[in-house]
Amino acid sequence: MKSKQLSFFLRSPSGVVAIVVIVIAVVFSGYYFYNKYQETQKLLQNPTTAAQQQVNSLVDKVGKLMVLPNELPTLAKVSNATQARKQPLFKNVENGDEVLFFVKAKLAVVYRPSINKIIAVGPINLTQRPTPTPTQERKVTIVVYNGTTTVGLGTQTQKQLSADNQNITVTDVQNAKKNTYTKTLVIDLNGKNQAIASTLASQLKGETAALPEGETKPSADILVIVGR
């Protein structure tokens, strides 16, 4: 009985229309997925195109959060946040953050896709030679003075400096002549390590300065006076 009803339905106008609709749906689905397959194969065969699409997608997302320079940027992903944080612009980065470098505009934009927010924006100088830092070849000697009443703060700072910078040597830790320093000071004692002093001041959340009056000048390249 059911077989006769099905045969009758298929011969009826409604049955013919239903069959045509099903055929069209199947053909359209096959065409759609075939096109997607072809697009995927092109991306796999041409990684440059894939990378370009990734950059364009990121520019579109970030462009909705701020006005970007009118140029195609270079994309970099943060994989070693600890190392990157040694640069002031990247002090708040996390692994997985994405950085857009706009060469002509000399601008860097740090974007965190996990929360869809811009973390930092700042200028870059791609033509200037990199200045020496405590993590590069040049080694410097450092003396730490504790300029507070907190016992052990000088030793704590010594450990922090040694952990963050492989190519420096803390040769001595002493108490400063005064224990009322409200801010950490980094002093370039011979005038040859200004870039390194600035980097250390950023790490210690202090500032560069001249040797304070009354303090003894130690035999070292840099003096760090720890403040509160």
Domain spanning 140-226 has what CATH number? 3.30.70.2390
Mean pLDDT throughout 13-31?
47
Domain ranges within the chain, ordered by starting residue: 47-123, 140-226
Task: Point out the least confidently predicted range of 52-56, 107-111, 190-194.
Answer: 52-56
Burial class (CB in 10 A: 0-12, 13-18, 19+), 50: middle
Task: Report DSSP letters for 17-86, one per residue.
Answer: HHHHHHHHHHHHHHHHHHHHHHHHHHHHH-HHHHHHHHHHHHHHHHHTTSPPPSSPPEEEE-S-HHHHTT
Residue 203 corresponds to which amino acid?
Q
Sign of the Cα torsion 116, 62, 86, 78 reads positive
Tokens of 164: 């963050």
DSSP-based three-state secondary structure for 116:
coil
Mean pLDDT throughout 28-50?
52
Q: How do residues 125-182 score in pLDDT, each as one tens digit?
A: 655 544 544 444 557 999 999 999 999 999 999 999 988 887 889 999 999 999 999 9
Q: pTM of the predicted model, to two decimals? A: 0.42
The enclosing H or E element of 154 equals: helix 153-164
Cα distance between the two ends of the chain: 94
74-77 β-sheet, strand order: 74-77, 98-102, 107-112, 117-123
Burial class (CB in 10 A: 0-12, 13-18, 19+), 130: exposed
Tokens of 99: 């950085």
